[in-house]
Amino acid sequence: MTGWSGGPVTAVATCVLAPNPGPMTLDGTNTWVLSAPGADEAVVVDPGPADPGHLAAITRAVAGVGARVTLILLTHGHDDHSAGAAAFAAQVGAPVRSWDPQHRTGEAGLTAGESISAGGVEIDVIATPGHTSDSVTFGIPGGILTGDTVLGRGTTVVAHPDGRLADYLSSLRALRALVDASDCRNLLPGHGPSATDPGAMIDAYLAHRQQRLEQIEAVLAGLDRAELGEQELTARVVETVYADVPRNVWPAAAASVQAQLAYLLDPE
C-alpha cells in the first residue's frame, strides 16, 4: 500500500478519505474539500458513500478550515462518489451539482467550459467522458480533480457501454493539453494518492491504453471471431490480456475489454 490517508494537498484542497477501500476503490474514495485560505465557504467534491461516519468526517474537515459548505459537486454518478451526496446536501443545506441530472438536488447542473466561483476558488468544469459518459474533471488553481478519469495509481475502467474508449482517449488528450498550457502541478484523483506530475500520469494512462489495445489486437488475430459470441470473445481476451491482474477485478476488466473491442470495430 501507499500509505495514502488524505489530508491537505494544495493551499485550497484537502482530501477526506472514505472508509471504503477495495479492489476498485483502492484506498477508498477521495472526498475533496475546496476552500481558499481565509474563506468562510467551502465546496465538497464527491461526498462518497452513504456512510454517516464519513459524512461527519467531511463536516469536521470543513469546520477545521473555518468554513461551511455552500456547494457540492460530483465528478460522476458512480455510487462510491455520489451515494452520500443527497444526505450530505440535506445535512449542510447546500445543493448538489452534477453532469447527470438524476444526481442534482436543484436546478443547476454542470456545463463544459463554465467556471464556478465558490469557496474563494475558481473551479473550471472540463467534460471528460470515457470512464462514464457523465465524467467531468474540475480545474482549480494549480491542480485538476480528475475523479475516476485518472486515478492516483493503477488504471481506470472504461465502463462499457456507457463509457466509450474513443471518448476516454480524447478526454485524456484534452487533459494532457490543458496541463501543458497551464500551471497545473497537482493531480487530485478520485481514488489513490495525489500526484505532482499530472502530465506524466496522463502520458502513462495513454501509453497503457495503447498497450492494451495492441495486446487485444494480437489476441484477436489468433482467434476465429466468427466462431465466438461476444461473451466468449471477451472472456478469451480477459484471460489472456489481463492474466497479470487479480481475478477479483476481471469483471471490471471485461467491461474495459468490451469498450476496447467496440473501439477497435468503430474507432469513431
Of 150 and 257, nearer to Zn ion (C-beta) is: 150
| DSSP state string for 61-124 | HHHHTT-EEEEEE-S---HHHHTTHHHHHHHHT--EE-SSGGG-SSS----TT-EEEETTEEEE
End-to-end Cα separation, the chain, in angstroms: 38
For Zn ion, the closer CB: 16 or 255: 255
Site string for Zn ion, 99-138 (x = CB under 5 A): ----------------------------------------
Question: Among 148, 167, 202, 257, which residue sits at the site for Zn ion (rule: CB under 5 A)?
Answer: 148
Stretch that binds Zn ion, among 92-100, 145-153, 166-174, 255-263 (CB under 5 A): 145-153
Strands 68-73 and 30-34 come out as unpaired
Backbone angles phi, psi at 263, to 5 degrees: -70, -40
Q: C-beta of 7: minimal distance to Zn ion in Å? A: 22
Q: Shortest Cβ distance from residue 58 to Zn ion (Å)?
A: 19
Rounded CA-CA distance 146/187 in Å is 7
Shortest distance (Å) from residue 134 CB to Zn ion: 10
Nearer to Zn ion among residue 29 and residue 35 (C-beta): 29
Nearer to Zn ion, 78 or 104 (CB): 78
Query: Which residue has the CB atom at the shortest distance from Zn ion?
Result: 78
Cβ 147 to Zn ion shortest distance, Å = 7
Query: Residue 241 burial (CB < 10 Å; 0-12/13-18/19+)?
Result: buried
What is the DSSP pairing of strand 186-189 with strand 115-118?
unpaired
123-157-198 Cα angle (round to 5): 45
CA–CA distance, 262 with 257 (Å, rounded to integer):
8
Residues 220-249 close enough to bind Zn ion by CB under 5 A: none
Which CB sits closer to Zn ion, 70 or 128?
128
Report the SS3 class of residue 242: coil
Report, in Å, the least distance between residue 184 CB and Zn ion. Answer: 22
Does 78 sit near Zn ion (CB under 5 A)?
Answer: yes
Report the residue number, 39 or 150, with the smaller CB distance to Zn ion. Answer: 150
- Assign 3-class secondary structure to 109-140: CCCCCCEEEECCEEEEEEECCCCCCCCEEEEE
Residue with cell 500520469: 201
Return the range that interacts with Zn ion (CB under 5 A); candidates 16-24, 42-50, 52-60, 143-151. 143-151
Within positions 2 to 61, which residues make up the interface with Zn ion, using CB under 5 A? none
CB nearer Zn ion, residue 59 or residue 132: 132
Which residues in this chain contact Zn ion in the complex, by CB under 5 A?
78, 148
